Amino acid sequence: MSAQEEGDSIYFETDTINILRLPSDEDWDFFDVDEVLRLSLAFDVKTLVRQKRKDAYQDAVLTLYIDSQVVERNIRIKARGERRLSLCTFPPIKFNFKKVDSSDVYVGDETTLKLVTHCKSGGNYRQWVLKEFLIYKLYNVLTDFSFKVRLTEIEYIDTGKKGKQKKKYGFLIEHLRDLAIRNDAYFLGKLNQSQKRVDKEMLALMGVFQFMVGNTDWSTAGPHNVKYIRLKDSARLAPVTIPYDFDYSGMVDADYAVPRDGLNLEDVTERYYSVWCLPRPIMEEVITLFREKRPELYDVIGSFTLLEKWQQTKMIRYLDSFYQILDSEEATENKIIKACLDK
C-alpha cells in the first residue's frame, strides 16, 4: 500500500468498498444489487451548506443498514459538484473514510465515494434524482465502461438541530479507480483531449447514448462530465471516455436544465448529436448494439417502481422517440451518422 503526504496528514490508497465490508461477507456485492441501500448520515447541515464553496471537510457519522447487520463509520464529508454546487440548497456530497476507525488517517481522493443528493426539497427534485439514477443504469446495459450506481434511502440527521431527521433518496457512484480495476485498465487524471484522440468505439457509443438521453452537457475537452481510463491492452491505448452527470439531459427534463451554449437549441428535450465523424463500420456496429439492447433498456425504466407513473411514462416516451429514429434508416443516417461535426 502506498501513501502520500497532503498537508500534515497521510492519505492512503485503498479500496473504499473494503472499508465498508461486513465481517461476515466474503463476496462483497455493493453495486451489483438492485436493493435500495438504507443508510443514515449524521452531521451539521448548516455547516455543510455554509461551507459548500470552501472545499472543506467536516466530521460525520455514516451508518449502513444491510440485512440484519449495521456498519457504522466515522467519516468526513464535503460538498462537491460544479453547477449543482450553485443550484442546490442541499449540495451533492463526497465521503472520505478513515482508514482505521479509531485513527485520524483518511483515505485519499482515489477512494472517496460520491453521493448524488436530492438537491432541494420537493417532489420534482425527488423524481429527477431517481431519473438520473436510471440513466446510469441504462448505460450499464450497453457497456461495462460505465459507472455503477447504488440507490440509497438516506436518513439525514442534523446534529446542529438536536438530531432533526429527514429521509430522501440519493445514489452512490462507483469510484473511477474501481471502474478501471474491473475493466483491467488504469484510471487517468484530468485530461484535456479532443474527440479525435480518444477511443473511437467508446466515443461512438457514448455519443449515441448522449443523443438518446438528450444530453449536451458534456465535452471530452476540459473535460466536462467525462472521465478517462486507459486499457492495459497494448492494442488499444487511446483513452476511453466514461460519461457521468446526466441531470441536464432531456430524459430527466429538470426545470433548471438548459442546453449547452452555442447549439441553438430551445429546450433540453431537443436532441443534438455532438460527435466528430467516425468510420461507418464503427457507427453501424454501435447502432446495431442499441437496436439489440432495446428490450433491456426499456426494462430498466419499466421495471422501476419508485418513479411516479407519469414520470415513468414520460421517460419511456422519450426513449420511444429515439427508437423511432433508429427504426428508420433514413432518419438514423440524417440525424446521427451524417449529423457528425466535421463533415
Dist. CA 116–CA 139, nearest whole Å: 17
Q: Which of 226, 216, 236 is nearest to 191 (CA)?
A: 226
Closest CA to 113 of 44, 163, 39, 167: 39
pLDDT digits (tens, 9 = 90+) for 171-227: 999 989 889 999 999 989 888 899 999 999 999 999 999 999 999 999 999 999 999
Give the pLDDT band (50/70/90) at residue 27.
low
Query: In this model, does residue 25 exceed pLDDT 80?
Result: no
**Which candidate, 251, 220, 326, 256, places its Cα nearest to that of 83?**
256
So where are the chain's domains?
3-21+33-117+146-173, 185-337
Contact assessment for residue 194 and residue 220, using Cβ atoms and an 8 Å cutoff: yes
Q: Is the pLDDT of residue 108 over 80?
A: no
pTM value?
A: 0.90
User: Could you give the CA distance from residue 12 to residue 336 in angstroms, rounded to a whole number?
Assistant: 45
Q: How confident is the model at residue 254 (pLDDT cuts 50, 70, 90)?
A: very high
CB 53, CB 150: distance < 8 Å: no
Write a three-state SS string for 231-250. Answer: ECCCCCCCCEEEECCCCCCC
Q: What is the DSSP letter of 26?
A: S
Round to whole Å and give the CA distance between 125 and 176: 26
pLDDT of residue 87: 86
Instruction: Name 68's Cβ contacts closer than 8 Å, sequence gap at least 6.
Output: none
What is the structure's pLDDT at 219?
A: 95
pLDDT, average across residues 3-11: 32
Greatest alpha-carbon pair distance for the chain in Å reads: 64
Q: How many CB atoms lie within 10 A of CB 251?
A: 22
pLDDT confidence tier of residue 20, bands split at 50, 70 and 90: low
Could you give the CA distance from residue 135 to residue 33 in angstroms, rounded to a whole number?
16
CA-nearest of 255, 253, 231, 257 to 242 is: 231
User: What is the pLDDT confidence band of residue 306, given thresholds at 50, 70 and 90?
Assistant: very high
Using a pLDDT cut of 70, give the percent of the chain over it: 87
Angstrom distance (rounded) from CA 302 to CA 315: 9
CA–CA dist 206, 51 (Å, integer) = 35
pLDDT confidence tier of residue 52, bands split at 50, 70 and 90: confident
Cα–Cα distance between 133 and 171 in angstroms, integer? 7
Residue 99 has a pLDDT of 58
Residue identified by cell 451533492 is 92
Question: Which cell is 126 given?
Answer: 425527488
What digits encode the pLDDT tens for the residues 133-169?
A: 999 999 999 999 999 999 999 999 999 988 889 999 9
Answer yes or no: is pLDDT of 74 > 60: yes
Which residue, chain included where needed, has cell 431517481? 130
What confidence tier does 69 reach under pLDDT thresholds 50, 70, 90?
Answer: confident
Taking residues 24-35, what's their average pLDDT?
71
Residue 57 vs residue 123, higher pLDDT: 57
Predicted local confidence at residue 191, as pLDDT: 87
Residue 9 has pLDDT above 50, yes or no: no
Torsion angles phi and psi, residue 289, rounded to 5: -60, -45
Of residues 48, 30, 125, the one with CA closest to residue 91: 48
